[in-house]
């Protein structure tokens, strides 16, 4: 009862403190907003470029680079390429693209998270190709896609995740089925 009474009193007090009609909002300055967004993208990209160039990501609190799988797959440059282009940051996009096409190689023996690699790397390479027309990005995407395909060889067609270690035959690791980037 006390809670209900408090709710009625507080509700009435809040309603009385609100203006009956809200003031019209100021016109949105789209050019200023676009400029601010571009500046924030450039700020974040600059921090990555200074602190983690050639690595997957930059950890701002530690100020150190980090690679998701112990070695770089250039997660941030690939994922950011289309954003840099859309933001009109052509020089930064060209520098990222050069890093990607000159150094990214999937010939590795690592197991990866299929979902993250698909959305960030495969998606980033494909959107980068769409935005630039650079066939080297398409070739990288095709290479990666072919390496990820075995993860979908399951009874349901859903990506296969590695079974518990005990379920694998002793001494054998089937990299084709565990979503690794490397094909045997």
So where are the chain's domains? 36-162
CA distances from 65 to 4, 86, 122, 155 (A): 54, 25, 22, 39
Residues 118 and 148: beta-carbon distance below 8 Å: yes
Residue 18 banded pLDDT, cuts 50, 70, 90:
low
Length of the chain: 184
State the pLDDT at residue 68: 92
State the pLDDT at residue 165: 25
State the pLDDT at residue 156: 84
What ranges make up the beta strands (E) of 28-111? 57-59, 64-66
Burial letters for 152-163: b for 16+ Cβ neighbours within 10 Å, e otherwise?
eeeeeeebbebe
- What are the tens digits of pLDDT across the range 123-181? 999 999 999 999 999 999 999 998 888 888 778 888 776 433 223 333 333 433 344 44
CA–CA separation, 127 vs 131, rounded Å?
A: 6
Going by C-beta distance under 8 Å and a sequence separation of 6 or more, which residues neighbour residue 19?
Answer: none
């Amino acid at each position: 009862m006390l809670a209900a009474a408090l709710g009625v009193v507080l509700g009435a007090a809040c309603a009385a403190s609100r203006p009956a009609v809200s003031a019209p909002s100021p016109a949105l300055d789209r050019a200023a907003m676009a400029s601010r967004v571009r500046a924030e993208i450039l700020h974040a990209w600059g921090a990555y470029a200074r602190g983690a160039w050639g690595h997957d990501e930059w950890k701002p609190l530690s100020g150190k680079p980090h690679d998701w799988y112990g070695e770089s797959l250039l997660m941030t440059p690939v994922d950011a390429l289309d954003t840099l282009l859309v933001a009109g940051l052509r020089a930064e996009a060209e520098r990222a693209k050069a890093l990607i096409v000159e150094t990214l190689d999937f010939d590795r023996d690592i197991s990866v998270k299929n979902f993250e690699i698909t959305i960030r790397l495969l998606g980033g390479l494909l959107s980068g190709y769409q935005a630039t027309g650079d066939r080297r990005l398409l070739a990288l995407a095709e290479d990666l896609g072919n390496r990820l395909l075995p993860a979908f060889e399951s009874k349901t067609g859903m990506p296969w995740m590695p079974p518990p270690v005990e379920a694998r035959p002793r001494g054998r690791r089937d990299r084709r089925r565990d979503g690794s980037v490397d094909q045997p």
